[in-house]
Amino acid sequence: MSKEKTMEAEISGYISSLLRTHFGKGPSSVFVTIKRPFFTVHFRGFIAPMEKILLKQNESKRVLETRDMLLSELRDVMIKELWNIAELDVKEIYADWDLERETGVIMGILREGNAPEETEWVWPDDVNKEEVVRQIEAASDRAEKVPDETEVYWLNERTIFVRRKGILVRIEKELIKNGNIQDLKQSKRPLERDVLKEVPLQGALKRKVNEYFVDWNFDTDEGFVVLILDPEKKPLT
């Protein structure tokens, strides 16, 4: 097993254990992607018994608030442990959840002195990256405004990482200033997923997008998107 695969396996085991310890149940599967300076942890089959009861009572907002609060409390612990087990020098950690599908993503940005420029990343020959960027910006425009900057990174055949800068409109900034961060997140999550599905993003990618995950850094006016793709099916040789 290569060093990178060993690292991914160790992170997968750690995240499973962390979620099991703090939620009472771990995910059924975990898929780790490391493409410096980014990493993602995509997990399936993750819903705690108490959360199932709350969802039956239409308390999804409460479940999401609890998860966000717990992740905020665990952020420093995760950063320290990811360094201990894999020497990942994590600068930022974000997360999003799809309660209906019982899935989620933890996404992170590493401190990397010599990270490659966006233009140096390799994309599949059949994908027009500029068109992908246009569709993501069109989706952002429907939800709030066209970002000041949009960076899109192809991590592997099933994961795309998007970083948008300068996305907040004036009313959102006022809500943040007045401490309504959780309410804003609860409103933006479904909205941003919906607009990403409305634009012809899958056509630009020439692949089906199975899941859309979003999160934000309101302090720096940045938004993040992780797209989980249906891997391209290649002919047998």
| pLDDT score at 116 | 63
* Strand (E) or helix (H) holding 69: helix 60-86
Domain residue extents for the chain: 3-110, 122-229
| pLDDT score at 231 | 80
| pLDDT score at 120 | 72
| pLDDT score at 98 | 96
| pLDDT score at 118 | 64
**Percent composition of the chain: helix, strand, coil (DSSP 3-state, to 5):** 45, 25, 30
Tokens of 62: 């409460």
Ranges of residues in the chain with a pLDDT under 70 are 1-2, 113-119, 232-237
Cβ–Cβ < 8 Å for 166, 221: yes
Helix (H, G, I), strand (E, B) or coil at 168: coil
Cβ–Cβ < 8 Å for 130, 138: no
DSSP 225: E
Compute how many other C-beta atoms are within 10 angstroms of the C-beta atom of residue 59.
Answer: 14
| pLDDT score at 236 | 37
Residue with tokens 């160790």: 10
Strand bridging mode 29-35 / 38-44: antiparallel
For domain 3-110, the question of CATH label 3.40.50 is answered with no
Strand order in the sheet with 222-229: 149-156, 159-165, 222-229, 209-217
| pLDDT score at 5 | 76
**Cα separation, 28 vs 235, whole angstroms:** 29
Phi then psi dihedrals of residue 8, to 5 deg: -65, -40
| pLDDT score at 119 | 62
